[in-house]
Amino acid sequence: MMNRLDKDFLWGGAMAANQCEGAHLEDGKGLSCMDILPSVQYGRKEAMYNPQLALTKKYGYYPSHEGIDFYHNYKEDIKLLAEMGIKAFRTSISWPRIFPNGDDKEPNELGLKFYDRLFEECRKYNIEPVVTLSHFDTPLNLSKKYGGWYNRKLVDFYLKYCKVVFKRYAEVVKYWISFNEINMITHIPFFGGGIILKDDDDVMQVSYQAAHHQLVASALATKLLRDISKNGKMGCMLAAGSYYPYSCNPKDVWAAVEKNQDMYFFIDVQARGGYPSYTKRLLKKKGVCIKIAAEDEVIFKKHKVDYIALSYYSSRLISVNKKVLKNIADGNAVTTLRNPYLEATPWGRQIDPIGLRITMNELYDRYQKPLFIVENGLGVSDKVDENGEIHDDYRISYVKEHIKAMKGAIADGIECLGYLVWGCIDLVSAGTGEMEKRYGFIYVDRDNEGNGTLKRIKKKSFWWYKKVIESNGEEL
C-alpha cells in the first residue's frame, strides 16, 4: 500500500494545439477540422454534428484561428507553468502543422521547428512533455479528399506523420498518446475521426469502422515508437467516467454494464491486445459489421500500449426507465443523466470526485497497467475583481477533492504516473468554442468574441497548485 506519492509523480497541466496555438495558417500550417468550426454563439453545435454545413457556411468567428496565441506566446506561458512548479506539460502536435494536407510528400520544416523550440523550452525548466499525436485535428484535406478515418488510407498517412515526429523528438519526448479520447469518435465523428457524414451514411457503421482503423493505427504507431525510441512510452487514452446504474433494478445495472463495455471496447484492444469477448454482441446491437484485415489481430496482439491515459470530468448515469431518461445532463458529448446526489456546474457538468476513484479502480483492475490522469478540471467563468485578481476558490475546491480521490485510488494499490489539470492556462473550449468556460490556473484576457489583450494573470489557484506540487500532494 502506498500512501505517499512517488517522488517522480508527474504533476502538471494539459492543453491541445487546436485549442491554444492559434496561428492557424502561419508558417505553412494547413487547415484542421477544428478550424472550420465557429464558437457556440455562431452555431458550433450544429456545425460539429453536421460538418457538411461547416464546409460551406461562413461564420462570424472561428476561435481556433487565434486560440490564445500560444504559438507566439509559448515562452512566456512555459515560464509561468514552470513558476507554478509543474513537472509535466501535455500538449498535442498539430498534425496539419507538420503535414498541411495530410498527404504531402514532405513534412513542413517550419512546423517541426516550432515543436523543436517548444520542447526545448520545456526541457529548459525540467518539464516532461506529454505529447498527443492526434487531438481532434485531422488535416481537413484528409476529411474532404478521403473521408477521414473511415478510409483505411488514413492509417498510412498517420504513420508517416508519426515516423517524422518520433524521429525528430525521440530524445526529448518520452510519453506519447496515440489518440485523444479514442472513444469520442463514436459520439462526435468529426472531432474524433475527421468524418464528414453524408445524409445517407449509417453513423454507427461509419464511426466503428473508422475506430477500427484508428485502433490499427495506434498499434502500428506503438510498434514504430519502439523501433525508433529506446525510452518512448505509448499510451492509449479514454474519455473516462464509469457509468452508474440509476437504481438497483437489475435492468439498470445491466444497462450500466453495457455502457461501460462500449467505452472499454477501445482500451481492451489497445491494452489487452484484441477485441473483447462481448464485441459480437455489442456490434450486433448497433447493427454494425466492421471489416477487419487478416493481419489486424496479430497487430493488436503484438503492440499493446504501455500505459492508460484518461480524462475524467464526471461519472455517468444510465437507466432503462423512460421517464428518468429524459432527465439528461452534460456528459462531455457522452449521454448521461442527472444524478440527484451530485452538484453540477453552470454548463451542466456534474461534479463527482469519488467517481474518479471508482473509475481508476475499474480501469486498473481491468488492465493492470499504469494509469495517467491527463485531463481533469473545472470549466467555469471567472471574474477579475477591481484589483485585477481572480479568487477562484471553487476551482481549488474541485481540484483538491479530485486529488484526494486520486490519492485514495493510489492507496488502493493503483499505479498512477501523474495528474494533469486540463486547460492549465485558459483556452478555447472544445465543446462550445467559448473562452468563458475557463479551466486555467492562469487567466487569459480574451472573451467569446475574440476581444481582449491576451494578457495572462495568475489566479488564486495558481499559488495553491504550486504548493500542492511543492509538497508532492501533501498540502492540499
Output the CA angle 236-426-433, nearest 5 degrees: 75
Q: Using CA of residue 153, residue 157, residue 163, residue 169, what is the dihedral sign?
A: negative
Phi, psi of 224 (to 5 degrees): -60, -45
Residues 6 or more apart whose Cβ sits within 8 Å of residue 258 = 282
Q: 211-270: which residues touch ligand BG6 (CB under 6 A)? A: 239
Integer-rounded Cα Rg, in Å, for the chain is 21
**Smaller CB separation from ligand BG6, 66 or 181:** 181
375 is annotated as an active-site residue: yes
- Residue 162: CA count within 13 A, CB half-sphere: 28
Q: 153-172: which residues touch ligand BG6 (CB under 6 A)? A: none
Number of residues forming the site for ligand BG6 (CB under 6 A): 15
Residue 94 lies near ligand BG6 (rule: CB under 6 A):
no
Phi/psi region, residue 457 (left: phi>0; alpha: psi -120 to 50; beta: rest), is beta
Binding residue for ligand BG6, selected from 64, 214, 218, 429, defined by CB under 6 A? 429
Q: Which of 375, 386, 436, 470 does the annotation list as catalytic? A: 375
Q: Using CA of residue 386, residue 379, residue 123, residue 476, what is the dihedral sign?
A: positive
Whether 165 contacts 98, CB under 8 Å: yes
Residue 24 lies near ligand BG6 (rule: CB under 6 A):
no
Residue 336 lies near ligand BG6 (rule: CB under 6 A):
no
Residue 331 lies near ligand BG6 (rule: CB under 6 A):
no
Q: Which three cell numbers stand for residue 362?
A: 475499474
Binding residue for ligand BG6, selected from 13, 379, 418, 473, defined by CB under 6 A? 379
List the x/- string, 434-473, binding to ligand BG6 by CB under 6 A: ---x------------------------------------
For residue 136, the cross-strand partners are: none
Residue 35 lies near ligand BG6 (rule: CB under 6 A):
no
As measured in angstroms, the least distance from the Cβ of 144 to ligand BG6 is 23
DSSP 342: S
As measured in angstroms, the least distance from the Cβ of 311 to ligand BG6 is 5
Q: Which three cell numbers stand for residue 464?
A: 495553491
Residue 176 lies near ligand BG6 (rule: CB under 6 A):
no
Residue 311 lies near ligand BG6 (rule: CB under 6 A):
yes
Residues that bind ligand BG6 (CB under 6 A): 16, 19, 180-181, 239, 311, 332, 375, 379, 422, 429-432, 437
Which residues are the active-site residues?
A: 375
